[in-house]
Structure 1
């Protein structure tokens, strides 16, 4: 019985790999790019180096203005020219304003009904207007200034006490704690970040 289950799993894995391989092979009207591997595409070329340097070197080899990469199941076009980038970001910006449809946007965010994953259109413009007037207005930002001041004083007190005791200070951790505390206090009214870290 175990051998039968193992064989079925092996067959399903092989069929999945072949399906992905065929998807990668049938891309049409795409810019030139490096050879892809099944499942991971070109992700192996971006590991272990600074990504923008790797992309620059690949674009010199495969296409000075446009290059196609396959990152897992996501098809990516890399633009390396200012003139072509202007076409994407300014001339035809409405064609590229929406984010690609992914499963997380459909399942977690109720068919992409949030601001981040919703497609560009009237609904997105209304959501942005609500965010700008209710969340990001100058009056709302000023109303949370006491939280920022309080957390700044706490950060300075921690740095002072560590320096007086001769202990090293990890600035990255301190700034991360500061920002997380400000966001948690503004969003939830209490420092949920510190409560969570003290529980650990």
Structure 2
């Protein structure tokens, strides 16, 4: 293990599996807290997600919901039909392309299939077709890209004003607003379509979280 200094932020590097195991498993509580990064904080509403929220009661409750409600073995198995359907569609696309002597871009197909599975499991339906699909893909790519963008203000607190000139602040705020509006639309769709007890096993993540909220 070694310590590096990135501006004003100390960064600990674990360069072996044994050291990583000590941090992630044996001494996990001691290393559980995380620095508050500007971009994730704006994109994740505070932040309020499991990956970026600081260690504490809120994080423990969020993790409990993830493990007991969203990612338990029964729930994961209930989505097997979705995975099978999307795999069959993938194979059909490959077969059709070969039959028509077209080039097959496997990387693009795998990414598309993964997105379709995740959207159906988490949001209840696919967002890949037509103008809506193009907007969603563009928004998702921008969202993921901004999570990994270097924000100089996080490492040099006296230089956050730079982001006003390089356009980063404007872009983050724009994507955060668009993503928030998209999620609001998804939630409203689910509130208008109530599921019966018989359909509870096929409930997606938004359905489950709305039930937890109630």
* Same fold, TM-score > 0.5, yes or no: yes
Residue 66 in structure 1 maps to residue 10 in structure 2 = no
1:82 deviates by 5.9
What corresponds to 1:44 in structure 2? none
1:183 equivalenced with 2:123 (yes/no): no
Provide the C-alpha distance between the structure 2 equivalents of 1:82 and 1:181, rounded to a whole number of angstroms.
33
Using CA pairs below 8 Å that are at least 6 residues apart, which structure has the higher relative contact order?
2
Whether 1:156 aligns to 2:91 is yes
Distance 1:115 1:197, change over 3 A: same
Residue 140 in structure 1 maps to residue 82 in structure 2: no
The answer (yes or no) to whether the contact 1:181–1:194 under 8 Å persists in 2 is no
- The TM-score, its normalising length taken from structure 2, stands at 0.53
State how many pairs are aligned.
Answer: 135
Out of 108, 112, 121, the residue aligned to residue 173 of structure 1 is 108
- Contact 2:33–2:54 (8 Å) recurs in 1: yes
How high is the TM-score relative to the length of structure 1? 0.56
Q: Which of 118, 124, 128 is matched with 2:59 structurally? A: 124
- Trace 1:43-122 onto structure 2 (pairs within 5 A): 65-70=1-6, 75-80=10-15, 85=20, 88-90=23-25, 92-122=27-57
Q: Is the alpha carbon distance of 1:193 and 1:93 closer, same or farther for their aligned partners in structure 2, counting shifts above 3 Å?
A: same
Q: How far apart, CA to CA, are the structure 1 residues paired with 2:5 and 2:75?
A: 42
Query: 1:156-176 CA distances to partner (integer Å, 9 max, x unpaired)?
Result: 001111112222211111100
Q: Which runs of 5+ in 1 are unaligned?
A: 1-64
Q: 1-side partners of 2:21 and 2:109: how far apart?
A: 39
Secondary structure of the structure 1 residue equivalent to 2:13: strand
Q: CA RMSD in A?
A: 2.9
**What are the ranges of 5 or more consecutive residues in structure 2 without an aligned counterpart?**
139-214
Cα distance in 2, alignment partners of residues 172 and 114 from structure 1: 29
- How has the CA–CA distance of structure 1 residues 133 and 197 changed in structure 2, closer, same or farther, with 3 Å as cutoff? same
Q: Aligned in 2, Cα 1:73/1:180: closer, same or farther, shift over 3 Å?
A: farther
